[in-house]
Amino acid sequence: MLNEQNFMAKNLIIVESPAKARTISKFLGNEYTVTASMGHVRDLPSSKLGFDPKNGFSPEYEISKNKKKTVADLKKQIDKNTVVFLATDEDREGEAISWHLLQALGLEKRPVKRIVFHEITKPAILRALENPRDVDQNLVDAQQARRILDRAVGYELSPLLWKKIKPGLSAGRVQSVSVHILVEREREIRKFVPVEYWKIKADFAEFSAELKKLNGKTAKVVNESEALRIEASVKQGDFVVTEVDERMTNRNPAAPFTTSTIQQEASVKLGYSVKRTMVVAQQLYEGNFEIPDYSGGLITYMRTDSVALAELALTQAQEVISSEYGVKFGLKEPRLFKNRTANAQEAHEAIRPVDLSLKPSAVKDHLSSDQFRLYSMVWKRTLASQMASAEIARTTLKIEAGVKKECQFVAKGQRVVFPGFLQAYTEALEGQNPMVAEKDVILPKVEKDQQLPLKKLNLEQLFTKPPPRYTEASLVKKMESEGIGRPSTYAPTISTIQDRGYVEATPEKQLKPTSIGEVVTDFLTDHFAEIVNLGFTAKIERNFDRIANGEEKWVEMLGNFYQPFHQRVVEKDESVTRAEVLKRRELGTDPESGKPVSVSIGRYGPMVQIGTRDDEEKPRFASLPSNLNLNEVTFEEAMECFALPRTLGNYENGEEIIVNNGRFGPYVKLGKNFFSLPKGDDPLKTELAQAVEIIREGLEKKAKSTIHDFGDILVLDGRYGPYIRSAKKNYKIPKGVDPVSLDEAACLKIIAEAPPPKGFKGRKNKTAKKQTA
């Protein structure tokens, strides 16, 4: 038998992910073992507050259940002679993971080497190994402060939301202010009243000009009679060129990518969600793909708010620009960019290709489509940032018209004289096609005082539009500009507010708050204003920055926040009633009963109610479909909800098909089978043919996953393998038992012998986990 000592690593490098471990192990010899911690190994307990406010906020960390085996396996690889290198990410979260590993592996009292790198290449890894440091306690404390403060907000506010609004809700420091931003915008849209205005455009032989000024002031044509008066005037006079302005302008490229800008650009140009962008960027960083004659990641670390480029990258950029586009497209001196964020700290460099000479076309065959498109974007943007400015000739023509020469029309043209960085890349703006951003618009040669014969005058009636809803990209931009969150939190926050049902994405990929999202926001605004206040949230982020820089103590910072906050939670629990929070909205009177019709939030979500609890007869209730909002639903739409459940007809087997709205959304029912309606579908408008198709697809899917059907007992093949389902409970099939061989008696035996769920203490414990928002 092999001696256990043979399994001990001489040099053990611990990173977060297996993909990262595999890539790094390719660069090092047998004297190094590279393994993964699979992210955080310790956290605050999920079933209680997890820290002691009376004892310096001392946290009660514990090894996560799903990480106990990981920690045990890591310990087996360490003896007294093992040199341990902690190589987690270089941001605060990564620093905290390293610190937790020290504690979990019992390494606090022995020398351990902390190494950091922002690209996964052999030179970067070797350089990091030669320059180890200690774990930075300031960075760890900043992360601890964030974790404990977020736990305090989530753990204390969430039960209050359950009590005052609806069970299962949660509050979170960054998520709540993000929902607040969306709710405020939605209300702006709701209150918006369109205003009429007219655009007047004159068509000449080779170009068009738009009315810009009336009597020397900005033209505001607000109705048809004004437009017709202007039309009559200009048709009586001549159109005369009063000014020809030709000038050369330079356009400079955008800075290299940060986390925020890559998320925004990938959304606009590639149609990626922020989550998808970060997943693909992580893959490109970790480098877990096979490229001939190349090992390592393709881009630098993707969680950063810095726009700086390393000296080596600046030099290489000029070499690649010269070979790809020519010397005149390059720069004699590198172009340096200033960080837009007040305290850029998450990493030391912008997101860039590790090796700019590795063109997208050279790696295309070895990457997925998503990886190739994102890498191409990073490569082009980085190169463009170090290319010559574009030179653009812009021409402005000012044309006088009207009986009293009171109208000024303006035509603008442009011509790209030298494309510069545009040859490689054009930045996208939301709502604008990047392909036409600098498209040539050529105006004919005209002289001052030249008369222009009018071909046609166009009068167009328009109406002002409300501010647009935020998209994921524009919300990230808003969060960054307000100092809310950090590069590592943008994507998780946007995912969380959608997963929790506070926000939904429209078919146009815009973010719209749900009824629940608005009610929760109103409650927090009325009673915990600082939680949804942009300035306060940004101040907290600055506090974290100060802790990371060693300028503030984390315990003092938490003390200043926690005591007043905790006291307010206690006060509001006693003083605020549920009725006060829910603010029932009355819509009208039921014509049959004469009772009031209202909408509010019930135990299972938004609902319509006929009557009140004070009536002799019980009120009638109906669920409000997810496509209707509490604040927008009309009386007619609310009354239609009582038409549910609707019987649509019969299925092929003669059973009735019923469509209804339930606590998990609208569904079609056939016997004991339930099938969800597609997102956005209205159960009040669902037709028989559509329901039949949904049932057919659902039954086919169910048949594929059903191994045995014994009536009340099913043997199913799920995403984690075969299992037994009975009385709405799932049971594991013992190892070594073939699910196909099971009969009803064998299933009953497995159910009878199944152990009770671990940690089961009733409903209270089951829901406690939701408090850690």
Residues in the chain, total: 773
> 647 has which bridge partners?
658
| Cis peptide, bond prior to residue 645, ω within 30 of zero | yes
End-to-end Cα spacing for the chain: 49
Burial of 28 (0-12, 13-18, 19+ CB in 10 A): middle
> Choosing from 155, 301, 425, 502, which is the catalytic residue?
301
Q: What is the rounded CA–CA span in Å between residue 410 and residue 242?
A: 10
Q: In which residue are the tokens 């239609």 written?
A: 640
Q: In which residue are the tokens 């960027």 written?
A: 281
**H-type helices in 624-741, by residue range?**
635-640, 688-705
User: Which H, E and C letters describe 20-66, residue by residue?
Assistant: HHHHHHCCCCCCEEEEECCCCCEECCCCCCCEECCCCCEECCEECHH
Burial of 367 (0-12, 13-18, 19+ CB in 10 A): buried
604: closest CA among 168, 16, 64, 196?
168
Structure tokens at 300: 């630098």
Inter-helix orientation angle 472-482/274-286, to 10°: 80
Burial of 202 (0-12, 13-18, 19+ CB in 10 A): buried
Say whether 447 sits in a helix, a strand or coil.
Answer: coil
The kind and range of the H/E element at 521 are helix 515-527
**H-type helices in 302-368, by residue range?**
311-324, 360-363
What are the phi and psi torsion angles at 417 (to 5°)? -80, -45
Burial of 565 (0-12, 13-18, 19+ CB in 10 A): middle
- Find all residues with CB under 8 Å of 586, minimum gap 6, and list them: 596, 597, 598
285 catalytic residue (yes or no)? no
Pairing of strands 11-15, 83-86: parallel
The kind and range of the H/E element at 15 are strand 11-15
- CA distances from residue 516 to 206, 500, 512, 606, 633 in whole angstroms, order as listed: 56, 10, 11, 7, 14
Q: What is the rounded CA–CA span in Å between residue 34 and residue 25?
A: 6
- Find all residues with CB under 8 Å of 286, minimum gap 6, and list them: 17, 19, 20, 23, 120, 297
415: closest CA among 447, 443, 384?
443
Q: What is the rounded CA–CA span in Å between residue 610 and residue 596?
A: 6
The distance from CA 592 to its chain's CA centroid, rounded to whole angstroms, is 47
- Find all residues with CB under 8 Å of 104, minimum gap 6, and list them: 41, 42, 63, 71
Active-site residue set: 301
